Chains A and B, each alone.
Chain A
Amino acid sequence: DSGVTQTPKHLITATGQRVTLRCSPRSGDLSVYWYQQSLDQGLQFLIQYYNGEERAKGNILERFSAQQFPDLHSELNLSSLELGDSALYFCASSVDDSSTDTQYFGPGTRLTVL
């Protein structure tokens, strides 16, 4: 158990819908990262937040948005869902915002868009 929690574990929804994935980092960690793992792609970095502020942005679609709240938990919002958004979404956390920090991954949320 990494100490990072993600909810829900599984999510099944329809195209065009909007969902919110939630992540709670390890106690004391200030950075949260979101990743997408789809069948035909490797692990893709989406976005990083550090202490409430966006720190780095990867290949995140405009239909996706994220935020980190004062209690440091983070939410990833996915809207106007398409079949291709079906994937495993991981959240990871680290102590600081350096790329040399060890990242601890949560168990993931499996999103299925029908």
Chain B
Amino acid sequence: ILNVEQSPQSLHVQEGDSTNFTCSFPSSNFYALHWYRWETAKSPEALFVMTLNGDEKKKGRISATLNTKEGYSYLYIKGSQPEDSATYLCASSGGSYIPTFGRGTSLIVHP
């Protein structure tokens, strides 16, 4: 994988559903993986920074895992709420420290 890829591109779920999405990144020369939440008409807001293989981070109903050997990270949202509707971005940094962003996963939670 040369670029950072996120899937799915968009996701519609019902309130209360749990959901997850994927960020794939180059596993060679990996340094850090960032997750951001980006609401419409606002600016990206940092959720997690992850660096170590096997890292797990949690903030409320949102959690993330990291596998640096195979180059992927999962973001999980438990019991989705309408206020979770946003685009979730991931960004990977290698040795050059330059962050490469994925195109994001757009989540819409229907009441």
A contact residues vs B (CB 8 Å cutoff): 2, 42-45, 48, 55-58, 90, 92, 97-108
Check if B101 sits within 8 Å of A90, measured CB to CB: no
Check if A42 sits within 8 Å of B98, measured CB to CB: no
Interface of chain B, main secondary structure: strand
Instruction: Knowing A55-B97, A99-B93, A99-B99, say if A43 contacts B51 (CB, 8 Å).
Output: no
Check if A56 sits within 8 Å of B98, measured CB to CB: yes
B contact residues vs A (CB 8 Å cutoff): 31-32, 34, 42-46, 49, 51, 89, 91, 93, 96-104
Q: Which residues of A contact B51 (CB under 8 A)?
A: 100
Check if B31 sits within 8 Å of A100, measured CB to CB: yes
Partner of B46, one of A90, A98, A103: A103
Check if A105 sits within 8 Å of B31, measured CB to CB: no
Q: Which residues of A contact B104 (CB under 8 A)?
A: 42
Check if A42 sits within 8 Å of B103, measured CB to CB: yes
CA distance A97 to B44 in the complex (A): 19
Q: How many A-B pairs with Cβ below 8 Å? A: 51
Check if A100 sits within 8 Å of B101, measured CB to CB: no
Check if B102 sits within 8 Å of A42, measured CB to CB: yes
B49 → chain A, closest Cβ, in Å? 5
Partner of B32, one of A92, A99, A106: A99
Q: Which residues of B contact A101 (CB under 8 A)?
A: 49
Instruction: Knowing A58-B98, A103-B34, say if A43 contacts B44 (CB, 8 Å).
Output: yes
CA distance A102 to B46 in the complex (A): 7
CA distance A58 to B100 in the complex (A): 9
Check if B43 sits within 8 Å of A107, measured CB to CB: yes
- Ordered by A's residue number, 21 sampled pairs between the chains whose C-beta atoms are within 8 Å are A43-B91, A43-B101, A45-B98, A45-B99, A48-B97, A56-B96, A56-B98, A58-B98, A92-B44, A97-B97, A99-B31, A99-B93, A100-B51, A102-B49, A103-B34, A103-B46, A104-B46, A105-B44, A105-B45, A107-B42, A108-B43
